[in-house]
Structure 1
Amino acid sequence: MVYVRVDGNVQIGMGHVMRTLSLADAMRKVGLPIYFLMSNQKGEGETAAELVRQRGFDVIEIPYAYQEKDGEIPYLARTLAQFPTVFLVDSYAVTPEYLSALRELGKVVYVDDLCEEIYPVDGILNYNIYAENLPYQERYAENKSLQEKATKLFLGPQYAPIREAFVERRSAMEKEGKQKNGGQPLNVLFTTGGGDSLHILPAIAEDLDKLLDGVTYHFLCGPLSEDGEKLTSMAQMYGPERMVVHGPQENMALFLNRFDLVVSAAGSTLYELCTLGIATIGFSFVENQVQNLAGFAQQVGMPTAGAFDQDMEKAKEKVFMLVREYLQEDEKRQNLANRMASLVDGMGAMRFAQEMKRIHEETRHS
């Protein structure tokens, strides 16, 4: 049994949920039974839990707030079936003490974006572009003396959890032999991911007149966005040839593939955009996106607009400047798309699923 411990809500967004869903899809394909464990105190996680159920996974709801991880251990010990168990944990609200206690119930693999602490776990997943530059090898070599077996390390974009639809779309594009970018009319997408706590999209839309004419600008409202009505009203003012608002998409790969340029927060979406080879301008609006943004800038030359949470106006003006630049230079846009496509092959979730299957088999035989 594999239990995926993850949360999603207005405060923390949906990024953790979306990437674990991609991993869970792959683990299910290799024959692993999957349950999600999700906090839902006072309904705060209902949207995320429903999304998981829609993907065909069972959810065990935990009656604790998502920040109260240590208090949930006795509940999990009473509730979970006594099978050979592996936990996949994706949360910033955990402590080494929590993971150590969870390890009494089964093997633990932790999704760690930061490498700020040494965790008492059986495996670490960090698929981020900067992961191999962090001191995981040194830190977990020291940790080996504390455990019977060394912590397994799954590092770098080769493990990026890309949804199957993106892999299928990339394969179709390769067979068609067509390049996505270029041609008219041009379409640009702005997205912040699952939520938009800083209301970045309305701030950009307010100054849409600063961008090029003859281009349609699209705004994607994630499932946790509170700005749908405001953006829709603004789109009516600009008209459909200038501004279009979209809600959550069933087939995100097909949706994204229509755009010539995307302006995106530096979360998991960047890896999906790489899989499709779509030129992207990146930005951050929370601390955990800063390293990712810098990594993409360094490794594929992605243009970046900076941090909206540090200086909204400065970042917005940089977005406008870069959008104008990349719309006017087709070759520059295509070269960026090609560099991005070479970084991620879309098979990361399946690679990780095979590793989880090996860990699960070790649990059965231990």
Structure 2
Amino acid sequence: MQKDILIIRADATKAIGTGHIMRCLALAQAWQGHGRGKVIFVSYCESEELKQRIYEEGFDFVSIESPYPDESDLKQMLETLRFASETNLWAVLDGYHFDARYQKMIREAGYKLMVVDDLNNCQRYHANILLNQNLNAENTPYCCDTDTCLLLGLQYVMLRREFLRYQNKTRRIPERATKILVTLGGADTYNATLKVIQSLKQIEQGNLEIKIVAGPANPRIKSYEEAIPGFSSEMRLLSAVNNMPELLVWADVAIICAGGTLWECMFMGCPVISFAINEVQHTILKFLHDKSVVLYMGYVKTTNNEALSKSIESVLLSYELRSKFSEKSRKMIDGKGILRVIDSMTGLGREPENQKEVAYV
């Protein structure tokens, strides 16, 4: 029996961060874990640590020299697909630069295609499956092919297997929070980490333990090392981290910059203080803030250090607020999203009679 091949096209750079590849790792893990077959990442990846992780997970890696709109990108992707075409095959695109033309070329070549999206920034989507795992994505007015299966909303959040091990773990909320995790993306393009370090130094509460995660595409580690000395509480800088679930278990509060990390924190029930870097994140975080699920600090570029410091301290001191954040968060992410996505992909491979039933498992 022939096994399916999954070919993922996603990038990681200092400009866009690592989130596209990290959420596709969840898909790759589930694909292989369910015995579907081989996984190939086709990527323009500036992080050697991330490349190494892909290899360590048991996946193949094909390097892109110049990303789309450079024509060599599309040519290389189609060549990779053709090379594997003797086997049942799915292509996945995760990146905002893969426009309608890129998608259409893959579909017209006869391959099954899933597009992972957040922004609805294409005039038209050409895909067998269009996945948007964000809050309230089911209200997005997508223009797509008539046969496209839409997977929209939090029920399709793709979590990596290291998180799913904590599916039913009870979380203890301390009366007074002292452990803070700062993790602001794989690249932290807006240098929010330095802003948070400076704000934490203004907090009067002592005996804090702070762990700061610098992502694999972050070029500013040296500046963080220089900013840490002189802090009254313990502050540690971590890089090349592969144990994020354990860090979220350790933390009483996480300070983040939305993205996929938001869904990971919510699944783990870790109380969140978050920034936004784009309008989609702003809309999501404002909704969650209004529902008392997270504390939203606004856009990272405009957040005031003094206001941030006071907000962090208020969350640290409020058992009631952190308990509410944790309880409400866990109810919104059930951890089964990756199974629903895989079921939809394999269901379409069997040409189901009713695609809507596949889309909303």
TM-score scaled to structure 2, two decimals?
Answer: 0.87
Offset, 1:242: 3.3
Offset, 1:26: 0.9
Indicate the structure with greater helix content: 1
Q: Does 1:81 align with 2:84?
A: yes
1:71-93 Cα deviation digits (max 9, x unpaired) = 43333333432233211110101
Contact residue 14 and residue 219 of structure 2 kept, 8 A: no
**What is the match of residue 147 of structure 1?**
none
Amino acid at match of 2:64: I
Contact residue 176 and residue 318 of structure 2 kept, 8 A: no
Three-state SS of the structure 2 residue aligned to 1:10 is coil
Q: Does 1:113 align with 2:118?
A: yes
Contact residue 8 and residue 16 of structure 1 kept, 8 A: yes
Offset, 1:231: 2.1
Q: Which shows bigger deviation, 29-38 or 325-334? A: 29-38
**What is the match of residue 217 of structure 2?**
224
1:116-150 Cα deviation digits (max 9, x unpaired) = 432111110011013122124xx44xx42xxxxx2
**What is the match of residue 254 of structure 1?**
246
Correspondent of 2:259 among 258, 267, 279? 267
1:81-122 Cα deviation digits (max 9, x unpaired) = 223321111010111111000111401110011224321111
Correspondent of 1:186 among 178, 185, 189? 178
Offset, 1:38: 2.7
Correspondent of 1:58 among 57, 60, 71? 60
Q: Which shows bigger deviation, 201-210 or 256-265? A: 201-210
Aligned pair in 2 of structure 1 residues 8, 34: CA closer, same or farther (>3 Å)? Answer: farther
Q: Which shows bigger deviation, 253-262 or 204-213? A: 204-213
Structure-2 separation of matches of 1:55 and 1:300? 37
**What is the match of residue 242 of structure 1?**
234
Offset, 1:287: 4.9
1:128-178 Cα deviation digits (max 9, x unpaired) = 013122124xx44xx42xxxxx2101111111011222121232x24xxxx
**What is the match of residue 355 of structure 2?**
none
Amino acid at match of 2:61: V
Structure-2 separation of matches of 1:251 and 1:132? 32
Q: Does 1:128 align with 2:134?
A: yes
**What is the match of residue 159 of structure 1?**
156
Contact residue 123 and residue 154 of structure 1 kept, 8 A: yes
Q: Does 1:291 align with 2:292?
A: no
Three-state SS of the structure 1 residue aligned to 2:125 is coil
Correspondent of 1:25 among 17, 25, 29? 29
1:290-337 Cα deviation digits (max 9, x unpaired) = 33323433455422000013x25x3x3332222111111111111111
Unpaired stretches in structure 1, ≥5 consecutive residues:
145-149
Structure-1 separation of matches of 2:89 and 2:287? 34
**What is the match of residue 6 of structure 1?**
10
TM-score scaled to structure 1, two decimals?
Answer: 0.86
Structure-2 separation of matches of 1:184 and 1:74? 56
Contact residue 87 and residue 107 of structure 1 kept, 8 A: yes
Structure-2 separation of matches of 1:21 and 1:279? 25
1:22-59 Cα deviation digits (max 9, x unpaired) = 1111111222224334334xx73644333311222111
**What is the match of residue 348 of structure 1?**
337
Aligned residues: 342
Aligned pair in 2 of structure 1 residues 246, 78: CA closer, same or farther (>3 Å)? Answer: closer
Contact residue 129 and residue 296 of structure 1 kept, 8 A: no
Aligned pair in 2 of structure 1 residues 299, 3: CA closer, same or farther (>3 Å)? Answer: farther
**What is the match of residue 92 of structure 1?**
96
Amino acid at match of 1:54: E
Unpaired stretches in structure 2, ≥5 consecutive residues:
353-361
Contact residue 99 and residue 120 of structure 1 kept, 8 A: yes
Aligned pair in 2 of structure 1 residues 202, 32: CA closer, same or farther (>3 Å)? Answer: same
**What is the match of residue 356 of structure 2?**
none
Structure-2 separation of matches of 1:184 and 1:232? 28
Amino acid at match of 2:187: G
Contact residue 130 and residue 291 of structure 1 kept, 8 A: no
Three-state SS of the structure 2 residue aligned to 1:170 is coil
1:322-362 Cα deviation digits (max 9, x unpaired) = 21111111111111110011110111112211212223344
Structure-2 separation of matches of 1:251 and 1:105? 39
Three-state SS of the structure 2 residue aligned to 1:268 is helix
Aligned pair in 2 of structure 1 residues 89, 201: CA closer, same or farther (>3 Å)? Answer: same
